[in-house]
């Protein structure tokens, strides 16, 4: 039996972490999607980088309402046995709708951001066609005709884009000025090979802006990472968060110009 879109919105809302910048809204808003290991404390640093750029940040927990433990996350989600990006895309659509309903949010200026599995989620969500394809992939009924209304950007960090990712060959259907950060020492989702895949991904606008971080491993920004394939790098983390701030600031300027010209 399909879950309804409204049920997903209601299930996600209690588990979000909300960060608001100083001043009066409504604020442009970025929605952050965690990796396969679940929501972790390092996401707060990225959210604070967003508020420094004048954006509200919403950190979504995709596991709370599914009752997925950290052990299950590593053994089932990280291995690809459960919850592929195209299915989790339903959380992205529901989170965008929730944001559009908030008085503090500007519904016409939303950016989606994802790390690893969250990056997979973002890219597949922006790849699928509204209607039957979205409904079957997300297992949600009652999706709006265009769940991506208000989307003005996409920012992904070491995203998974392997053979099971829909967007790998199809590309994105919406022009979201996407930006990706890829580490040269990432042995989990790939380094320069991943950069080539992302750079070739079909886009309705200009090609994806792929930034290669020399020496960065997967989860280089996660201070408490316990995977031996991962090495936390505080300097690269600060540099990457600076790119995040700059990306959001530019998205705000670009959309302000568009609104002024309309």
Range(s) of the domain holding residue 38: 3-261
Count of structural domains within the chain: 1
* Residues 171, 197 contacting (CB under 8 angstroms): no
Q: Which residue has the tokens 């701030």?
A: 245
* Residues 158, 190 contacting (CB under 8 angstroms): no
pLDDT score for 254: 87
Nearest Cα neighbor of 50 from 120, 160, 153 is 153
Tokens of 8: 């997903």
Nearest Cα neighbor of 194 from 213, 176, 175 is 213
Instruction: Look up the CATH number of the domain holding residue 110.
Output: 3.40.50.1820
HSE, CB side, 13 Å, CA atoms: give it for residue 75: 5
Residue 38: pLDDT over 80: yes
pLDDT score for 262: 46
pLDDT tens column, 241-256: 999 999 999 999 988 7
pLDDT tens column, 79-109: 999 999 999 999 999 999 999 999 999 999 9
Helix axes 5-12, 85-100, angle to 10 degrees: 80
Provide the 3-class DSSP secondary structure of residue 164. coil
Provide the 3-class DSSP secondary structure of residue 23. coil
Give the C-alpha separation, 61 to 87, whole Å: 15
Q: Which residue has the tokens 């491993």?
A: 217
Task: Tell me the average pLDDT of the chain.
Answer: 95
Nearest Cα neighbor of 32 from 20, 14, 50 is 50
Q: What is the mean pLDDT of residues 175-202?
A: 97
């Amino acid at each position: 039996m399909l879950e309804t879109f409204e049920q997903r919105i209601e299930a996600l809302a209690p588990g979000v972490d909300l960060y608001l910048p100083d001043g009066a809204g409504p604020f442009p808003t970025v929605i952050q999607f965690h990796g396969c290991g679940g929501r972790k404390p390092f996401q707060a640093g990225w959210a604070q980088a967003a508020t420094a750029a004048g954006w509200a940040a919403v950190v979504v927990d995709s596991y709370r309402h599914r009752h997925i433990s950290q052990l299950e996350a590593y053994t089932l989600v990280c291995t690809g046995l459960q919850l592929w990006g195209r299915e989790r895309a339903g959380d992205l659509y529901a989170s965008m709708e929730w944001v559009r309903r908030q008085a503090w949010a500007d519904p016409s200026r939303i950016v989606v951001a994802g790390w690893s599995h969250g990056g997979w989620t973002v890219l597949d969500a922006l790849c699928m066609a509204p209607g039957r394809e979205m409904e079957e992939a997300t297992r949600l009924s009652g999706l709006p005709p265009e769940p991506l209304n208000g989307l003005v950007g996409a920012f992904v960090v070491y995203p998974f884009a392997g053979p099971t990712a829909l967007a790998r060959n199809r590309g994105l259907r919406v022009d979201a000025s996407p930006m990706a950060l890829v580490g040269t020492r990432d042995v989990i989702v790939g380094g320069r090979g991943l950069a080539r895949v992302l750079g070739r991904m079909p886009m309705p606008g200009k090609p994806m802006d792929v930034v290669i971080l020399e020496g960065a491993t997967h989860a280089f920004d996660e201070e408490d990472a316990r995977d031996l394939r991962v090495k936390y790098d505080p300097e690269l983390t600060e540099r990457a968060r600076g790119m995040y701030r700059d990306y959001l600031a530019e998205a705000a300027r670009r959309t302000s110009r568009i609104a002024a010209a309309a």
